[in-house]
């Protein structure tokens, strides 16, 4: 777990019986070489004392934004940290975080934090299962925060089920794994297609689709963060990657995307085709705006190049090609057919049947299908977290080449 060495961690502790485990967690993080600054809600003090925590962390544990003597600068704390970890996170805290209700030092620091945020919920099983809690979790995931899954077992109420805070060892290894991913793609060239394509009907209108480009941008950022040299070929989208290392090439049509992808593909170690490419385009785009003269209008469409199939044909040993399939029915069969036909190494399937998956939402629920018919199903996660899962899978395939 050496990945925690030197990391600055803001540990937010809220009012749950699981708070007693936070002392063990703080000790574990410190033992692994992290610096830990504890923030507590007033309710947490009923379960564990600031004295215990400040003794373990060798720093005062803050439970108020200000005290009589000083103001604890939550903005500075938020900027100081390499990660913020809220463990245990109660139902109340999840709700406050999800809605930005900054009435305590943890939520204030959370809103100011630029670092990754991890939260480990702890509550009774019915509170955990309640749609209000689940909605708050979904919101937090959509902000790019990381959920450390709850455990199952006997709860403080005596009931048995999901809702227990993950064990301190699991939480520490979750953080460690997060940092382990850093630079794991150094020296690798990654090619990505993302977003929709627009096919002109006339100077004003086009045929397009509802793709926002979010999944592709999340993949570009995640791959760049792992040290890859990333080229993102992006159809019309309002979005841009955050990572300064990503080279973005903006295109409009399927044909332009095809040209750009064909140019970069020979050098790419990993190509991930997340774009929703229009399958057809108007045979001829009118040079002038089409006027509303007749009762009906028939557009003649011709097929666009299939970028994936074309790259699949020229793929060399040592290159990985990953496709996407967004399906509405017969999902697995359709995705497996595409995997085969386009010579993908694996295909990411998302179904429009799943709530929280698909276009223009911040979350996604995917399965990854492999050539040997092996299928891995994932939970609903933020697109940022889904991007990490996809890259983990790609790295596994890369090691097997």
Closer to ligand CTP at the Cβ: 265 or 324? 324
86 binds ligand CTP (CB under 6 A): no
Of 104, 145, 209, 372, which is the active-site residue? Answer: 209
User: In Å, how far are 36, 81, 348 from 53, measured between CA atoms?
Assistant: 10, 18, 44
Q: How many residues bind ligand CTP (CB under 6 A)?
A: 16
Closer to ligand CTP at the Cβ: 304 or 364? 304
Helix H or strand E segment including 51: helix 50-57
Q: Of 31-39, 102-110, 119-127, 275-283, which part binds ligand CTP (CB under 6 A)?
A: 275-283
Which of 21, 96, 226, 338 lies at the binding interface for ligand CTP (CB under 6 A)?
338
Both tokens assigned to 1: 């777990």
Distance separating alpha carbons of residues 12 and 26, to the nearest angstrom: 10
Closer to ligand CTP at the Cβ: 148 or 192? 192
Residue closest to ligand CTP (Cβ): 307
**Residue 209: active-site member:** yes
Q: What are phi and psi of 48, to 5 degrees?
A: -155, 145
Measured over all CA atoms, what is the biggest interatomic distance in the chain, rounded to whole angstroms?
A: 82
Distance separating alpha carbons of residues 274 and 326, to the nearest angstrom: 10
CB of residue 313 to ligand CTP, shortest distance in Å: 12
Closer to ligand CTP at the Cβ: 33 or 266? 266
Both tokens assigned to 173: 């290894």
Which of 252, 306, 354, 395 lies at the binding interface for ligand CTP (CB under 6 A)?
306
CB 383 within 8 A of CB 215: yes
CB of residue 273 to ligand CTP, shortest distance in Å: 4
Residues 161-200 as x/- pattern, contact with ligand CTP by CB under 6 A:
--------------------------------x-------
Q: What are phi and psi of 167, to 5 degrees?
A: -70, 150
Q: What share of the chain is helix, strand, coil (3-state, %, to 5)?
A: 35, 25, 40
Handedness of CA 212, 215, 219, 225 (dihedral sign): positive
325 binds ligand CTP (CB under 6 A): yes
Closer to ligand CTP at the Cβ: 53 or 307? 307
214 binds ligand CTP (CB under 6 A): no
User: In Å, how far are 2, 97, 170, 183, 371 from 178, measured between CA atoms?
Assistant: 12, 22, 12, 11, 28
273 binds ligand CTP (CB under 6 A): yes
Question: What is the set of active-site residues?
Answer: 209
Which spans of this chain sit near ligand CTP (rule: CB under 6 A)? 193, 254, 273, 275, 277, 279, 304, 306-308, 323-326, 338, 342
């Amino acid at each position: 777990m050496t990945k925690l060495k030197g990391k600055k961690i803001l540990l937010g502790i809220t009012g749950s019986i699981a708070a007693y485990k936070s002392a063990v967690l703080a000790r574990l993080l410190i033992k692994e070489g992290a610096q830990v600054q504890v923030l507590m809600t007033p309710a947490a003090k009923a379960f564990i004392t600031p004295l215990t925590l400040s003794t373990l962390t060798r720093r005062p544990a803050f439970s108020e934004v200000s005290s009589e003597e000083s103001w604890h600068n939550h903005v500075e704390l938020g900027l100081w940290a390499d990660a913020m970890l809220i463990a245990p996170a109660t139902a109340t805290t999840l709700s406050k975080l999800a809605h930005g209700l900054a009435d305590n030092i943890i939520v204030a620091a959370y809103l100011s934090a630029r670092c990754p945020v991890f939260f480990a919920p702890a509550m009774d099983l019915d509170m955990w299962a309640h749609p209000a809690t689940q909605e708050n979790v979904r919101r937090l995931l959509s902000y790019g925060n990381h959920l450390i899954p709850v455990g199952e077992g006997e709860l403080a109420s005596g009931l048995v089920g999901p809702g227990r805070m993950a064990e301190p060892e699991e939480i520490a290894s979750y953080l460690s794994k997060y940092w382990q991913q850093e630079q794991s793609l150094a020296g690798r060239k990654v090619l990505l297609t993302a977003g929709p394509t627009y096919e002109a009907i006339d100077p004003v209108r086009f045929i397009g689709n509802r793709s926002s480009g979010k999944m592709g941008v999340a993949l570009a950022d995640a791959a760049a963060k792992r040290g890859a040299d990333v080229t993102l070929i992006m159809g019309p989208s309002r979005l841009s990657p955050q990572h300064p290392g990503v080279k973005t090439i903006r295109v409009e049509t399927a044909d332009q995307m095809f040209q750009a992808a064909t140019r970069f593909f020979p050098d790419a170690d990993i190509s991930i085709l997340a774009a929703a490419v229009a399958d057809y385009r108007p045979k001829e785009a009118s040079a002038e705006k089409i006027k509303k003269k007749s009762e009906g209008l028939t557009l003649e469409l011709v097929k666009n190049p299939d970028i994936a199939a074309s790259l699949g044909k020229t793929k060399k040993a040592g290159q990985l090609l990953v496709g996407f399939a967004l399906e509405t029915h017969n999902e697995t069969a359709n995705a497996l057919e595409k995997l085969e036909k386009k010579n993908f190494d694996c295909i990411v399937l998302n179904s429009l049947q799943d709530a929280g998956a698909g276009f223009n939402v911040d979350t996604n629920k995917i399965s990854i299908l492999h050539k040997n018919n092996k299928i891995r199903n994932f939970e609903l996660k933020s697109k940022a977290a889904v991007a990490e899962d996809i890259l983990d899978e790609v790295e596994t395939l890369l090691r097997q080449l």
